[in-house]
Structure 1
Amino acid sequence: MFKTIGVFGKYQDTSVEKPVKLLTAHLEAKGINVKLGHTTAEEITRDLPQEIMHESLTSDIDLAIVIGGDGTLLHVARRMAEKNVPVAGINLGTLGFLTDIPQSDMLSEIDQIIEGNYQLENRIMLQVKVVRNGQVMYEDNALNDIVIGRYALEKLIKWQVQVNGQFVTSARSDGVILATPTGSTAYALSAGGAIVHPGTDVISMVPVSPHTLSNRPITLPANSKVELSIHNKTPNCAHVSTDGLIGYNLIGDELVEITRSPYSVKLVHTENYNYFAMLRAKLGWGSER
């Protein structure tokens, strides 16, 4: 039974006011304590009596419900993972690979979850560390992907990669993506990577616009240690981003280490959730004949 639920509106967007207030009132009528997440715009929260939950306060809720798109869910889920709090997503966006509950069915499907009729799915995360002279300069976790991308438009990145201490390849490209199965339908997909079922424990490495056609995506075991170095040796030659957010600018003398994160995201789906049906709907695949 979920006694305290955090409701997170689409990041600082007042357009979600109606569904946020509707869901909040619906949950309170069932005797559930509701806290509003830090992503929700102040214009929405100021006339609601519920406690506002600061970004660091996640351990006192049993479930997080995100009303918005995949971007907001990514932001919230990364923080919930550290406290082992499950996350459900209500889709107000367009694609919605992660926010799978349609707004039109919001109350009925949330009721199903509250009554215990749901699936709990574990999604692996990645951890990135940027190391210089043995010192960790930057560290973060990602649900979708870690991207090493070029900082200046006019220069390709010169990089090489080792997996578990074994040299794999060197290349020049716009960047390289290390993606989880969750992230295989994000940036990695547009860069030519394969769609990977979220039930598999793998890491996809996808070069972005490589200078030679022989550099292809490769799938690695999730317990791999990927070490990537940049050879440009100029300030701000490249950057490291986690789930689309630039986290650290590289100067060329760092080692970027990517491993499986100790955390995982628990996604809550209703019992009628079907991954392949979701793919067909989002990607326009053909229906069964």
Structure 2
Amino acid sequence: MSSRFRHVALIGKYQASGGRAQSGALDVVMEDIAAFLEAQGCTVFVEESQADGVPVGRYKALTVEEIGEECDLGLVVGGDGTMLGIGRQLAPYGVPLIGINRGRLGFITDIALDDYQATLVPMLAGEYEEDHRNLMHAQVMRNGVSVFDALAMNDVVVNRGGTSGMVELRVTVGRHFVANQRADGMIIASSTGSTAYSLSAGGPLLHPALPGWVLVPIAPHTLSNRPIVLPDAEEVSIELVGGRDASANFDMQSLASLAIGDRVVVRRSDYRVRFLHPRGWSYFDTLRKKLHWNEGGS
């Protein structure tokens, strides 16, 4: 079967050993994947920021913007963090992404490295399931002015300082005041991010087809402050009322320091990330495998 994808960007952290680590060239795994893609009739490109030392003339290095404009598929090799980073950047271009898991959990990089060739052959020929994930658009507002702007796929988290006590947060959903909450922080997670920090803080799992968010307090002072599922059509605002050295994290990959009176405002983004999965893929299969459900059962 020939590939329906002609221009494929190979994206990932090129882990190397020995002399290769010094040169920054593609490691053996990435070279094998690139050669496999070429054998399927694909022209292979690499992402520029990771491509120092790639042999000249072998694989052309592109910026993320060039990948968005020139490639019809991104093949991401790594963990979920790698996918989160490139997914946010390529979402405005609509480039679909396939994830090969080279990390640990792999909720969104779901193809096993050992099985990638057998799995990718039919996918490259057009046999796949397509899965769209909404992004979150977050801003830090200070005196009515945006001082920080970011996209997030998993979550937006307001945290207390590392050496300080609880923070006090004023939470508003749409035009409605919810509550002032004292806690170690607050998580606004998408359905994609419901399996990340939100889950460890006691939040529920949300199926990715649900157009919703979950608002999860982190170690709340009042134990009746429980996670709540919200429609993602509503704007969520978290204002820092009290506390020192607080910050806002966006997918745990970018950070903004907060001052008293700052508001972290989260809206549904206009952009979505396009994931491609093997034919027959199921979100429940992923949960069973990654969360070790039914282990020891019949």
| Residue aligned with 2:182, SS | strand
Please tell me the residue identity of whatever aligns with 2:65: S
Which AA in structure 2 matches 1:223?
Answer: A
| SS in structure 2 at match of 1:56 | helix
Is the CA contact (8 Å cut-off) linking 2:167 and 2:243 kept in structure 1?
A: no
Q: Distance between the aligned counterparts of 1:252 and 1:46, measured in 2? A: 51
Quote the residue 2:103 is aligned against. 93
1:256 matched to 2:259 = no
State the match for 1:245 in structure 2.
253
Instruction: Give ranges in structure 2 of 5+ residues lacking alignment.
Output: 18-25
Q: Distance in 2 between matches of 1:118 and 1:128?
A: 32
Change (3 A) 1:48 1:154: farther
| Equivalent of residue 33 in structure 1, options 43, 49, 70 | 43
Q: Which amino acid aligns with 2:10?
A: V
TM-score, structure 1 as length reference:
0.93
SS in structure 1 of the partner of residue 11 of structure 2? strand
Counterpart of 1:112 in 2: which secondary structure? helix
* Equivalent in the alignment of 1:277: 285
Secondary structure of residue in 1 paired with 2:288: helix
CA–CA separation in structure 2 for the residues paired with 1:117 and 1:99:
18
Query: Does residue 49 of the first structure (1) align with residue 72 of the second (2)?
Result: no
CA distance change for structure 1 residues 233 and 213 in 2, over 3 Å: closer, same or farther?
closer
Q: How far has the Cα of 1:244 moved from its partner?
A: 0.6
* Cα RMSD after superposing both structures: 1.8
Q: Which residue of 2 aligns with 1:8?
A: 11
Compute the TM-score of the two structures, normalised by the length of structure 2: 0.90
Distance 1:218 1:26 in 2: 46
Q: Tell me, yes or no, if the aligned pair for 2:51 and 2:61 is still in contact at 8 Å.
A: no
Unaligned runs of 5+ in 1: none
CA distance 1:199–1:147, shift in 2 (3 Å) = same
* Identity among equivalent pairs (%): 35
Q: What SS does the corresponding residue of 2:204 show, helix, strand or coil?
A: coil
Contact 2:240/2:260 (<8 A) preserved: yes
Greater mean deviation of Cα atoms: 175-184 or 132-141? 132-141
The question of whether the paired residues in 2 share the 8 Å contact of 1:87 and 1:267 is answered with: yes
More displaced 10-residue stretch of structure 1: 81-90 or 152-161 = 152-161
Q: Where do 1:1-289 residues align within 5 Å?
A: 1-10=4-13, 13-14=15-16, 17-38=27-48, 40=50, 42=52, 45-46=54-55, 49-57=58-66, 58-232=68-242, 237-286=245-294, 289=298
Deviation, 1:153, is 2.4
